[in-house]
Amino acid sequence: MKILFLDQSGQIGGAELCLVDIAKPFRDNCLICLFADGPFRKLLEQQKIPVRVLANRSIRVRKQSNLMQGIGSIGVFTPIVAKVAEIAWEYDLIYANTQKALVIGAIASLVARRPLVYHLHDILSAEHFSAANRRLAVTLANRFASLVIANSKATQAAFIEAGGQFDLTEVVYNGFDPAIYQIQTNSLKTKQNIGLEGQFVVGHFSRLSPWKGQHILLEALTRCPDKVTAIFVGDALFGEKRYVEQLHQKVVELGLSKRVQFFGFRGEVAPLMAVCDLIAHTSTAPEPFGRVIVEAMLCGRPVVASAAGGAIELIETGKTGWLVEPGNVEELADAIAICYQHPMLAQIIAQHAQKQARERFHISVMEQKIARLLNLVIDFH
């Protein structure tokens, strides 16, 4: 099976990390085409996955772009479509990993007469996408895709609600290699090295963005004992630098300068998760999947998460973590207090969650499902 993967981004996000795992088993018979250069290309090269960058300038259509903004980018899309269609003749299947990849892949699949698979990593809702972009994604998927892989039931439901065909969809959860999260470092020593010795550390691991809700955690900290501190691991993407400035200002305004640290983007999160007593997920809008939630579970760390989107499918409150109302500062502070005041309970829940995560989200489970589905698509065509 020869697969042509398409991804719009040069940056590394959850969809891109998932694509690395999907492509690895096919590395001898695949190519990943990117529509922009950046750290993602370097990561693929490190993993010895064939990669080619097809554009020297990015496609400036965002999730909230309107129809006219989309039309204005046709000049960038056209040459990429031509390149993809030409390359696609050498492959059995086109696999679009993002929405812009879907646009390119749909037209290329028609020209090259190759089946198209669309991996949907987003919730197609008004909170995330403009009406024009939702209509475009659903129309192209319904018309051209042989299969739409959704990364959660929440993502699948949003696709169908937006007009997507149910019989096109299959849910495949992201997969993880548990060995990566078997932390060998001395967490107490690491805590000491970064000035957090004796502190109860709440970790937040995601890109810095208003809808990721880092400001909610800052507000919750003001309701917690002084020994409760927070570390933020991640950086801004897609023009959200202003939010980073606002977070730093908020830290000062709330008197949290000695209780908050920003670590920026880290390729490997497990070593820093090791120093955390609790991992907080605070998205204010529904999360398509919630990669950091599973990573925290695999690291054996208790998790509190926003009860929306895919997160609801990952956590059972009181058994594998805690779910709180999105944006509810008081509920988040209460959940932190439970872990702070009852460490043995938190540890028991974390251990149960770790065992379940190793079974439900093992990378082999995802690989087997993806391989089976792709073989069905190719056999059908």
| Domain harbouring 13, CATH code | 3.40.50.2000
Q: How far apart are the two ends of the chain, measured CA to CA in Å? A: 13
Residues 247 and 348 in one domain: yes
Mean pLDDT over 342-354 rounds to 96
Enumerate residues 6+ apart whose C-beta is below 8 A from 188.
Answer: 197
Q: Determine the average pLDDT of the residues in 319-336.
A: 97
> What's the rounded Cα separation, in Å, for the pair 312 and 245?
31
pLDDT at 182: 86
More confident residue, 268 or 306: 306
Burial label for 139, CB within 10 Å (0-12, 13-18, 19+), is middle
How far apart are the C-alpha atoms of 29 and 364, rounded to whole Å? 19
Contact predicate 116/96, CB 8 Å: yes
Q: Which of the residue ranges 40-54, 178-192, 221-235 would you say has the lowest mean pLDDT? A: 178-192
**pLDDT at residue 59 in the model:** 54
pLDDT of residue 186: 65
- In the chain, % of residues over pLDDT 90: 79
Q: Please tell me whether residues 301 and 335 are part of one structural domain.
A: yes
Residue 62 has pLDDT above 70, yes or no: no
Q: What pLDDT is stored for residue 238 in this prediction?
A: 64
Same domain membership, residue 137 and residue 22: yes
Give Rg (Cα) of the chain: 21
Is the pLDDT at 80 greater than 70, yes or no?
Answer: yes
Q: What is the mean pLDDT of the chain?
A: 91
Q: Which of 355, 20, 361, 312 has its CA nearest to residue 173?
A: 361
Distance CA 279, CA 292 (A): 9
**Euclidean distance between CA atoms 135 and 311, whole angstroms:** 25
Q: Read off the pLDDT band of 254 (50, 70, 90).
A: very high
* CA separation for the pair 120, 102 (Å, rounded): 9
Q: What is the extent of the structural domain holding 11? A: 3-175+362-380
List the single range of 58-72, 316-330, 359-373 with lowest mean pLDDT.
58-72
d(CA 212, CA 207): 7
Per-residue pLDDT tens digits for 20-59: 999 999 999 999 999 999 999 999 999 999 999 998 655 5
SS (H, E, C) 280-333: ECCCCCCECCCHHHHHHHHCCCCEEEECCECHHHHCCECCCEEEECCCCHHHHH
Q: CB of 327 within 8 A of CB of 284? A: yes
Q: What is the mean pLDDT of residues 90-98?
A: 97
Q: According to the model, what pLDDT value does residue 198 have?
A: 87
Selected residue with higher pLDDT from 337 and 64: 337
User: Do 141 and 256 reside in the same domain of the chain?
Assistant: no
Q: Residues near 8 by Cβ (< 8 Å), separated by ≥ 6?
A: 34, 35, 36, 59, 98, 99, 100, 101
Which residue has tokens 């926003």?
306
Q: Higher-confidence residue: 192 or 270?
A: 270
12 and 148: one domain? Answer: yes
Residues 66 and 30 in one domain: yes
- State the pLDDT at residue 103: 94
Please tell me whether residues 245 and 148 are part of one structural domain: no
Q: Which of 8, 122, 129 is nearest to 64 (CA)?
A: 129
68 — pLDDT class (breaks 50, 70, 90): very low
Residue ranges in the chain assigned as alpha helix (H): 14-23, 39-46, 67-71, 74-88, 99-112, 131-144, 153-161, 187-193, 214-221, 241-253, 270-273, 291-298, 311-314, 329-341, 343-360, 363-380
CA distance linking residue 155 with residue 120, whole number of Å: 7
Residues 111 and 240 in one domain: no
Q: Count of domains in the chain?
A: 2
| pLDDT (mean) for 284-293 | 94
Please report which confidence band the pLDDT of residue 78 belongs to, taking 50, 70 and 90 as the band edges: confident
pLDDT confidence of residue 211? 93
Distance separating alpha carbons of residues 195 and 1, to the nearest angstrom:
51
Average pLDDT over residues 287-295: 95
164 and 193, same domain (yes or no): no
Do 298 and 369 lie in one domain? The reply is no
For residues 169 and 197, the answer to whether their CB atoms sit within 8 Å is no
Q: Residue 303: pLDDT above 50?
A: yes
Closest of 219, 212, 228, 255 to residue 329, by C-alpha = 219
pLDDT surpasses 80 at 70: no
Please state whether beta strands 51-53 and 93-96 pair in parallel, antiparallel, or not at all (unpaired): unpaired
Give the whole-angstrom CA distance, residue 53 versus residue 80.
10
Mean pLDDT to the nearest integer, 237-264: 91
Q: Which residue do the tokens 């998460």 mark?
A: 305
pLDDT at 63 over 70: no
Does one domain contain both 101 and 221?
no
Side chain identity, residue 216: I
| Cβ atoms of 175 and 309 closer than 8 Å | no
* Predicted local distance difference test score (pLDDT) of residue 29: 96
The model's pTM: 0.89
pLDDT tens per residue, range 105-147: 999 999 999 999 999 999 998 888 889 889 999 999 999 999 9
**Tokens linked to 30:** 């695949």
pLDDT given for residue 11 in this prediction: 87
What letter would DSSP give residue 163?
Answer: T
- Does 227 have pLDDT greater than 70? yes
Query: Does residue 237 sit in the same domain as residue 219?
Result: yes
